[in-house]
A and B are shown apart, each in its own frame.
Chain A
Amino acid sequence: MLEVKNLMVFFENALALNDFSMTVNEGEIVGVIGSNSAGKTTLMNTISGLIIDMKIKEKRKGGERITIYGEILFQGEDITETQPFDRVKKGLVLSRERHPVFPESDVAENLRIAGHQVKKLALSERMEYVYALFPALSDLKRRKAGFLSGGEQQMLAIGMALILKPALLLLDEPLLGLSPMMQTMLVDAVKNLRKESGITILITEQFARPILPFIERGYVIENGMLALSGTGEELMDNPEVKSAYFGI
C-alpha cells in the first residue's frame, strides 16, 4: 500500500533521513521506533506531504532549505511531489506529534473541522464512531480543546484523523507524554479500531514496549538511517532493541 524508496531529506546541509526505505502492506500495523531526533517526525511529515508545504513556503520567501530525494508510492501511485491536502483525498491522513488540535474550538467543532469535506449524514455517523471509540471524549463535546488534558487532546487528534476515514493512518508518537494508564487506553482503542475497521496504521514511538505487542512489523531508525527491521516478535527478542528501546 505504501512504499518508501531510498528517501533522503536534508534541512540545509543536515541529513534528517538517510536512504530510508520501508513498506506498509494493506491491513497491517507497522511501527517505526527511534529515539529523539532519529527522524521519525521527518519521515511522517514526508509521507503525509507536510514537508512539501514547508518547502514551497520557504521557496516563496526566497530560501530553499529543504531538499528531498527518493520516492514515495501510495497504492502504486507516485506521490513524492503531491501536496498534503491532495494526499488526504487519496486516503493518507496524519495525526501530528504532540496533538496540536484547534484550541479555541470545542471538541465537537474540532471533529467538524476535520470533517470539512465529509457529507453531513456520514459526518455525524463518524463522530458517533469516534465518541464510541473514545468514550472519555463524549462527555467533553462542549469543552474547548485547549482546556483538555494532554491525553484527551491526543484522543481528539486521533479522532479527527479518523473522521476522514483514512486508508492509511499515520500516528506520530501518539503515546508521548501520556501516563501508563492513558497509554493502555489509547493502545486498546487502536487495537479496537483495527479490529472493527481493518484500517492500515503506521505508528512511531520512542519506546518499543507499548507498541511491540500489537504491531505486525517494525523498523528501527537511528540518525535517519534504517538500523533494523523485522516482525514484532523478532524485534521483541532482539537484544539490541531490548537494551536501547525498552528503557524505563
Chain B
Amino acid sequence: MLANTFVYGFVNSIILVLVALGFNLTFGISGVANFAYGALYILGALLSWVFFNTIGLPYLLSVLCAVVLTAVAGELMYRFVLLRIRGMVLSEVIATFGIGLATLELFKYLGFIGFEYSLPVFVDTSIEIGQVVVDMQRVFIVIIGIAMAGFLWFFTHHTRTGLRFRGIAQEERTALSLGINSDRVAMLSVSFGAAYAAIAAIVILPLGTINVEQGYSVLIKALAVCIVGGLGSTGGLVLASFLIGYGQTITVTYLESHWVMLVPLIAILGILIFRPSGLFGEQKELEERI
C-alpha cells in the first residue's frame, strides 16, 4: 500500500509538472497569463487524434503535426489578440479565458465527445517497480516529464533564444536596449507554452479519453501549481507539483476519491494565506532588498 502510494504519487506529481510547465513558461517570460491553456491542451490532443485516425498519418508524424499546429495557434493568438493588451493583466485573462471557453465549447458542438476519442498508449505493457505494477505509459510520462523540464532549463540557460527569454522576463526595457525584440520573444513564449501544452496532452491523455471538460480542470491544475510554487518560478513549480500530487494520491488512497478536486484549491488557499508570493518567492527577496 505504502509502496503503491509512493509510486503513483510520484507519477501524479510528474503529471502536474507536465501540465504546468507550459503555462509557467509563458507567464514567466512575457507576463501573459494564458487562460486559454486548457483549450490548447485539448486542441493538441484532438489534432493528433484527427491526423492519426481521420487522415491516417503515422502516429509519430501525427503528434509532430499536432504540436506544431498548436504552437501556431498560440502564435496567432498572440499576434491578433494579446499583442494589443499585453501588460494589462485583467484584459489578458478575460481575452484568453474567452478564447479558451469558445474553443472548448466549439469542440463539444462539433461532437468531439465519447470513448472513441482516445489516444493510443505508446507501448502496451507494464513493468514492476518494487512490488508495484506500473503500466509503461506512466513510465513514459515520468521520463518525458523530467526530460521536458530539463530541456526547458537547458533551453533558457544555454541557447540564444533562451537567453533572450530570460532577458525579457527580467527587465524588458534593458533587454530592448540590448537589441532583443520584446514582441517577438513574447510571441515565441506563448507559442512555446502552447507546444508544451500539446505535448503534455499527448503524453498524459492515453491514460483515459480526450474529454473536452478536462480543458477546464487542466487550467485549474496549472494555475494551482503555479500559484503555490510562486508564479514564474520553475523550482517552485516542481515542489508545488509534488506537494499537490502526493496530496491528491494520499487523499484518494486513504480518504475519499471525490475529495481529490479539493486538494489544489486548498493548496491555493493555504499558500495565499501563509505565503502569498508562493513557495519560491525569489523575486520578492530581491525586491525587498532594494
Instruction: State whether A61 touches B157 (Cβ < 8 A).
Output: no
Contact among A85, A102, A109 with B174 in the assembled complex (CB-CB below 8 Å): A102
Q: In the assembly, what is the distance between CA of A164 and CA of B170, in Å?
A: 19
Q: List residues of A (122-162) whose CB comes within 8 Å of B's CBs.
A: 144, 146-147, 157, 160-161
Number of A residues, CB within 8 Å of B: 34
Number of B residues, CB within 8 Å of A: 28
Given A60-B83, A60-B84, A112-B163, the answer on whether A104 and B282 have CB atoms closer than 8 Å is: yes
Q: Which chain A positions have C-beta within 8 A of B163?
A: 109, 112-113, 116
Mask, B168-186, CB within 8 Å of A = 1, is 0011011111111110000
Instruction: State whether B170 touches A103 (Cβ < 8 A).
Output: yes
Chain B nearest CB, measured from A235 CB (Å): 28
Q: In the assembly, what is the distance between CA of A104 and CA of B290, in Å?
A: 13
Q: List residues of B (167-217) whose CB comes within 8 Å of A's CBs.
A: 167, 170-171, 173-182
Q: In the assembly, what is the distance between CA of A116 and CA of B289, in Å?
A: 28
Instruction: State whether B178 touches A164 (Cβ < 8 A).
Output: yes
Contact among B83, B175, B179, B283 with A164 in the assembled complex (CB-CB below 8 Å): B179
Given A85-B180, A85-B181, A102-B167, the answer on whether A147 and B289 have CB atoms closer than 8 Å is: yes
Given A109-B166, A116-B179, A117-B179, the answer on whether A146 and B160 have CB atoms closer than 8 Å is: no
Q: Does B98 contact A (CB under 8 A)?
A: no
Given A60-B83, A61-B88, A146-B290, the answer on whether A53 and B176 have CB atoms closer than 8 Å is: yes
Q: Which chain B positions have C-beta within 8 A of A6?
A: none
Question: Other CB < 8 Å A-B pairs besides A88-B179, A113-B175, A117-B179, 4 of them?
Answer: A50-B176, A84-B179, A85-B179, A147-B286
Chain A positions near chain B (C-beta within 8 angstroms):
48, 50, 53, 57, 60-61, 83-85, 88-89, 93-96, 100-105, 109, 112-114, 116-117, 144, 146-147, 157, 160-161, 164
